[in-house]
Structure 1
């Protein structure tokens, strides 16, 4: 397993895994497959290269099998904060430490940037595996949002978590 920060050259595999994530686990993301399926590789290239955005990919040989994005708040009064978004590991690479390695790398990137003091994330309350992973890394629940997401007629609650560095 090799972890690297994704760059422009990874836009196509990133687009592929992102769309897979939105199809297979729609309850885990604020975006939907329908909203992102028509975005071009160029759109994903811009997303990967945006300022204060660090997207890490886990590769098994040449195949991208997991992703996570760390975003640092750009505003001066919030610059001590970062957030985790778009965490996903393909089904065949789950329960093998891939998610933990991705999260540890995101945390290490945050620690390497002067001034980041805390990392936030949200997780759907029914995703017990992700919640266990985040808690094992030191994230703590600080709130719950009822009906945070709605897919069709089904609501999903989210827990908000924070890690103080």
Structure 2
């Protein structure tokens, strides 16, 4: 498994896994499949070209098997913070350490940036395997956002977590 920063040339593969993620785990993302399915590949190229976000991919041969994104805060009062969002690993590759490897790459990116002092993330409160992974990496829960997402009349709570670098 090869973990690397995605480039605009990876946009087609990234769009494919992003749509897979939105279909397979709708409660884990604030975007929906219906909102993103019509996005052109160029929208993902732009996302992968940003100076404020860094998306890491896990490749097996040339197939993208997992992703996560590290986002720097832009506002001057928040520049000491970053967020990790959109961790996803294809179901057939789960339990093999890919999620952990992606998270470690994103955390390392934060450590390399002098201004970053903490990394935040949120996870749907029922996702025990993800919470276990994040806790094992040093993240600590600091709050629950009740009814953070609503999907087809059903609510999901988000647990907010932080890692101080």
Q: One fold, TM greater than 0.5? A: yes
Residues 70-85 of structure 1: pairs in structure 2 closer than 5 A: 70-85=70-85
Q: Structure 2: 5+ residue runs without aligned partners?
A: none
TM-score w.r.t. the length of structure 1 is 0.99
Structure 1 residue 77, shift from structure 2 partner: 1.3
Matched length: 165
Q: Deviations over 1:72-125 (max 9, x none)?
A: 011221111000111100001100000000000000000001110000000001
For 2:49 and 2:71, the matched residues in 1 are separated by 11
Partner of 2:129: helix, strand, or coil? Answer: helix
1:99-153 per-residue CA deviation (whole Å, 9 max, x = no partner) reads 0000000000000011100000000011000000000000000000110000011
Q: Name the CA distance, whole Å, in 2 between partners of 1:102 and 1:51.
A: 19
TM-score (norm 2): 0.99
Q: Distance in 1 between matches of 2:69 and 2:114?
A: 18
Find runs of 4+ consecutive structure 1 residues off by over 3 angstroms. Answer: none
The CA distance in 2 between the partners of 1:50 and 1:38, in whole Å, is 21
| Counterpart position of 2:89 | 89
2:65 counterpart residue number: 65
- Tell me the equivalent position of 1:146: 146
> Where does 1:3-82 land on structure 2 (aligned, <5 Å)?
3-82=3-82
Query: How large is the Cα RMSD of the aligned pairs?
Result: 0.5
Give the distance between the partners of 1:74 and 1:126, measured in 2 at CA.
Answer: 30
Partner of 2:113: 113
